[in-house]
Structure 1
């Protein structure tokens, strides 16, 4: 068997993340059902040989103020979380939505799901993904004044043995999604 190029573990990790996202997209609407979408995404990762570790989950029911979002963005989540400007934009959209008289506008800006994936190396030099997910929804009892923020942060590492056992199946599934994109 030929030696794989040095980039292969990164490509394999990217392929697994992409396949899990495509599977979750097919099962759930990410913007309307963000938490179920994310759970499906995580299950898809585990099913194809990704080990999830050091998961931190937090649910915050709040009046969305600058102070609340500042706590989120300043890193209550443990390392290796870094500041993320996309989430600051989401916060501003939510705060602006609360000022609008039309509830439909508020729902469109606050019922949302945001996923960020960064890449790094573990202590052994193996590639890993750092996953940060924010799901935001209006509080059904107080939709004009309160939101629920569901935050998840974790590491994801490829189990190479489990992946190799499924490599052909994973590549075929990715190709099938690719073929669908052609239409």
Structure 2
């Protein structure tokens, strides 16, 4: 019997995350304006009745070397359950691009954004989304040799009371955006 409410809560959390992604994408290009996209994404989550918890944000300006990426992708971000292989793959892709002649990746790509969601339950058994976000852009002062990284790591938990007052609005807006997405 307890699995039914937990399943509904997980579906509601998924709906809020999807709506936040769609609305943020309507307002900002995630690849070229990743930080504003992510801010909008978080704001829309809160507007839907999702509580954001334990956010960690780190900004790093760096010369992109193996040592820097080792520190960034496996160092300061505490893994919630296990090491985050998604970020590790992003680091390897960037490092591979940097090995190309004349730092081709940095010349051709001025920004990128990577969002990863993991799902778990908290101590009370309520669904929890673990959000990892990385915005990577070239340093405007040294676009061929330096990167500016912003990493965010936080939890998102459905506030059932707040969500119930907004449920119909969230469902209607999500349906409208999904219908628009299919055109």
* Fold match (TM-score > 0.5): yes
1:79 is displaced (CA, Å) by 4.2
Aligned partners of 1:117 and 1:132 also within 8 Å:
yes
Cα deviation digits, residues 14-44 of structure 1 (max 9, x gap):
0000000000010000000000000000000
* RMSD after superposition: 2.1
- 1:165–1:4 distance in 2 versus 1, CA, 3 Å: farther
Q: Within 5 Å, which residues of 2 pair with 1:82-101?
A: 82-101=82-101
- 1:81–1:68 distance in 2 versus 1, CA, 3 Å: farther
Q: 1:55 — aligned with what?
A: 55
Aligned partners of 2:58 and 2:151 also within 8 Å:
yes
- Counting matched residue pairs gives 181
SS at match of 1:150: strand
Structure 1: gaps of 5 or more residues? none
Aligned partners of 2:21 and 2:41 also within 8 Å:
yes
Aligned partners of 1:98 and 1:144 also within 8 Å:
no
Task: Find the aligned partners of 1:34 and 1:143 in 2 and give their Cα distance.
Answer: 17
Q: 1:116 — aligned with what?
A: 116
- 1:158–1:73 distance in 2 versus 1, CA, 3 Å: same
TM-score by length of 2: 0.90
1:164 is displaced (CA, Å) by 0.6
1:157 is displaced (CA, Å) by 0.5
TM-score by length of 1: 0.90
Aligned partners of 1:113 and 1:136 also within 8 Å:
yes
Q: 1:168 — aligned with what?
A: 168
Structure 2: gaps of 5 or more residues? none
Aligned partners of 1:97 and 1:109 also within 8 Å:
no
Q: 1:5 — aligned with what?
A: 4
SS at match of 1:5: helix
